[in-house]
Structure 1
């Protein structure tokens, strides 16, 4: 039996982050691929979770899946969940954050699952939610979209980025980390928004652009139909994310424009140099050998690290310590009392 279907009894202490406290209650705004997967996984783990989506068909499907669905954002916020997850498209984030700000109450912590953190922080800050906010982004997804594509297994055990800035409250951070490392079964790199957005540009947003370009090159080719008939694993794997909703990809790339543009300039430079070498019959080995260090890292097994406890102290020393550890590749694996456990 997998963890995703085992329920809270089978999870034991893992469901509460290993610290013995009850898992937080959660509300999810937006029940698409990621929001729906968050809700499904938490529901399977026995967490008190409710959701809302503006689309009646999505709400009906969520109810059919056994989820508790609120009739509106006001009702969703009225329950004062411990965590409210914004899982709406980036293009809708500012309007939704403003609406949430009208209704949120109590000590509800606001987080999100957006793939760009700087833009989301600007949106929630403009709405007056900055003191409640902790950024989050699960590094998992598919080329499909909508609640029908959501799956409890999609996020089970995922690596998350959790982002902080000078205004982040220690208790809010602990609440989000307890959720991620507890019932969501994941680990978390705690980093700044800029570190996340630069990293996401390299390993997510630029790959979406390149996959889209591969599809576009074939679309314009006179041998398109033959090429598609011959396409096998390399084309399938290289273009998978290019088959997602183009408006979603466009929003992701434009909201992270500075970091994506910077990375694409390097890509364009390298490809131009390769083109020149091919046209002049010059050596091209350096182009293909350059990634060797990353190939070795991707093929290596993670060495176990001794756990380190970082206190979420009132003096705020964790504000420097946790992002430095996160940027160096260390992940939070649990929350124990007033400390987070980092490996």
Structure 2
């Protein structure tokens, strides 16, 4: 795909999908004064979004015709191929006109499957993956807000073919008007990490509800339920189809983690049944390193830091960014040809 590049500053953002996350992106950008043009397949949702100050149009192609600097894809994963086909069919006319072409990004909770369908649509060269680690048990535009995303961690993913200019534009959007905390990584690392901290927890929370559903003491148990049950099942009280799609979409990373969790729980049951106190203690103590890390930092990397500048030219910059992201570095400043990151300081020799 060829054509004149859009300016690096993010002036206009297109958005396809106005659910919880897409709607929150739209509301946050509108509150920041960014020009937003959005669509959703549901006409009632478009009308409600319009009333909330989001400029809406009828189709994804109409969003593309507005030539946004960044086009954010926020439909369900199952709907993404059709959206991309619509965009791909409109692009030749835009290329022929010689105008600026948008960078594509998304807000999906899996990255490798999204990149696969983007590549299949012939749009991979303009794509940079993104995923805000935020959400609630509710869904739909009515549940979205302009305070859900600011301050939240964002994963921004790169591949061996990712264009530096496109990466910079997405990072400028995430760390600028969306006020996110961005960490760069590759798709596989993202999917493995979110399996542990999002997708498997959703499955385990659902299993807690399943256990209660089939128990003879269900009414009594629910009458006695307090904070631990409420907190442990919060994410399972959402649309089960949405959770199912998220977990199934990341099956490659979720399956081994679920099997490991099942093995751990089976071993705990065996130890409890046999009275093996040492094994029971080992189960509950195994998480001590993570407990300590969470207690000392409230889940946010802390301690001494260093500033690292990565020039986005030549070879190896993608690998350096992903290695820094793996080590805990976050994007502090975005330049046209370099990124400044805040990284944990190396221990003194």
Q: Is TM-score (shorter-chain normalized) higher than 0.5?
A: yes
Q: Which residue of 2 aligns with 1:293?
A: 289
8 A Cα contact 1:40 1:67, kept in partner: yes
1:22 deviates by: 4.2
**Which stretch has the larger CA shift, 137-146 or 250-259?**
250-259
Deviates more, 1:293-302 or 1:138-147: 293-302
Quote the Cα distance in structure 1 between the aligned partners of 2:169 and 2:48: 29
In the TM superposition, 1:121-270 aligns within 5 A as: 121-270=115-264
RMSD: 1.1
Is the 1:182–1:334 Cα contact (8 Å) retained in structure 2?
no
* Partner residue in 2 for 1:35: 22
CA deviation string 1:232-251 (max 9, x = no partner): 00000000000111111111
Conserved in 2, the CA contact under 8 Å of 1:50 and 1:69? Answer: yes
CA apart distance, 1:304 = 4.4
Aligned partner of 2:84 in structure 1 is 97
Ranges in structure 1 where 5+ consecutive residues have no aligned partner? 1-20
Q: Find the aligned partners of 2:82 and 2:272 in 1 and give their Cα distance.
A: 50
- Which residue does 1:305 correspond to in 2? 305
How many equivalent residue pairs?
A: 322
Deviates most, 264-273 or 70-79 = 70-79
In structure 1, the partner of 2:315 is 316
C-alpha distance in 1, partners of 2:131/2:17?
Answer: 15
Q: Partners in 2 of 1:128 and 1:41 — Cα distance?
A: 30
TM-score under structure 1 length normalisation: 0.92
Number of the residue aligned with 2:4: none
SS of the equivalent of 2:151 reads: coil
Give the structure-2-normalised TM-score. 0.90
C-alpha distance in 1, partners of 2:158/2:77? 19
Give the alignment partner of residue 113 of structure 1, picking from 107, 122, 144. 107
The CA distance in 2 between the partners of 1:337 and 1:59, in whole Å, is 35
Match of 2:41 among 54, 63, 70: 54
Mapped contact 1:24–1:179 kept (Cα < 8 A): no
Structure 1 stretches of 4+ moved >6 Å = none
Bigger relative contact order (CA 8 A; separation at least 6): 1
CA distance in 2, matches of 1:316, 1:174: 17
